[in-house]
Amino acid sequence: MKTYAMMVLGCKVNDYEATYVRENMNQYYEEVDFKEKADICLIFTCCVTNTAEAKTRKFIHAARRNNPDGFIVAVGCLSQVRHDSEVFEDVDLIIGSDQKDQIVDLIRRNEKGNKVNETISTEFEDLYIRSYPTKSRSFLKIQDGCNQFCSYCVIPYSRGRERSADHKRILEEARQLSMTNKEIVLTGIHTGRYNDGEYDLYKLLKELVEIETLETIRLSSIEITEINDEIIDLMANNEKLAAHLHIPVQSCSNAILKAMHRPYSIEEYIERITYIRSRIPGISISTDLIVGFPGESEELFEETLQNLKKICFSFIHVFPYSRKSKTLADQMNGHIDPKIKKQRVKDVMELEKGITLNYRSSFIGKTVKVLIEKIEDGRSYGYCRQYIYINIDQVLNVGELYDVIIDAVNEEEVSGHVAV
């Protein structure tokens, strides 16, 4: 049997789509590690940051170097927006944001070339997954595309316009996945904009929590403007919905938010976060942050730091601004020196340490539900519903939920024991 290897970069949507392709590839080929020799190599690409683009280049070169006669396939966002660049010189087949459901057939026919559609489909590409490779959580893609056009973001060009999956199909797939996975993560490019006729995200969640075999539902990411009171009430009154929201802020300076074309002020953002916490005590609220955006002076960066102290996120994904062609920000004045951007990332990460430690320490002595993901050296590891990674000095069952009392917290780890 011929072999294939897969490398997945980028977001949870890429992971979901790669899982669909893997499920179909496994009918005809045997999967091996990406470092091993393979007849076919698939790289799911990402274009959000310059680092992601560099990784794509690195893995394409590695695939060709290790497999000079192999069939190399590049899929996804970077393939869509940069398919004519030298990055893909060593690639046999290029697939963009459409036709992922045809990849296996194209490979089996040994079709080579650029299969990217310049005009991305306005229909939701229905990639149905029957089981996830892990025994813990699974991703479920409910939405694709974005209409927001933030000034720094290339995603509307790489993923196209907003489109959503049929709600009946989502419920069917969720029931199927819940047979093997206790937790499902709803994911999309703009998850909060899910809309299938009269079904918005709230109505979808309301039906999902009724699935008896599904124990935890988590939202991968959602904008502050899309968390309505109905969703908050549902989260407050149903423990199946994980007490964790990842809400991108991108900047904590109004001047930069305006330049980014973000649809809120920092005061509006903080007011909404305060309300959410009042309704769901102990909720984990994490975020994405971009530093070094064009025009971000030392004063504006200091404003962001001060507001980060006020908000106290449970954790922060911080990125240096990446310049992207086609975006409005690329044409702006006041681009920041890379060394300054790098230092600002360090400054935010240093600030985050104390804030994250304080949040996690607030759980000492409390009981949380933990989904076990791996066993290593006689210990069990997994995330609780507040998305805190916990280790337990006991061998438990991977994929099962346990009530765990948190015993100790430090900068390196959180530990606990199973409640008896």
Sole residue written with tokens 């971000």:
296
Sole residue written with tokens 């305060």:
274
What's the pLDDT score for residue 287?
98
Classify domain 3-114 at the CATH superfamily level. Methylthiotransferase, N-terminal domain (3.40.50.12160)
Alpha carbon distance 34, 43 (integer Å) = 10
Q: What CATH topology corresponds to 367-418?
A: OB fold (Dihydrolipoamide Acetyltransferase, E2P) (2.40.50)
Helix (H, G, I), strand (E, B) or coil at 123: coil
What's the pLDDT score for residue 183?
96
Would you list the domain boundaries of the chain?
3-114, 121-242, 244-256+270-362, 367-418
Q: What CATH topology corresponds to 244-256+270-362?
A: Transcription Regulator spoIIAA (3.30.750)
Instruction: Answer whether 42's CB lies under 8 Å from 21's CB.
Output: yes
What's the pLDDT score for residue 368?
97
Same fold: 121-242 with 367-418: no
CATH number of the domain at 121-242, out of 1.10.357.10, 3.40.640.10, 3.30.390.10, 3.30.750.210? Answer: 3.30.750.210
What's the pLDDT score for residue 420?
84
In sequence order, what E strands does 265-339 have?
284-291, 316-320
351, with CB counted inside 10 A (0-12, 13-18, 19+), is middle
Q: Which of 300, 216, 218, 299 is nearest to 258 (CA)?
A: 300
Low-confidence ranges of the chain (pLDDT < 70): none
Instruction: Answer whether 364's CB lies under 8 Å from 409's CB.
Output: yes
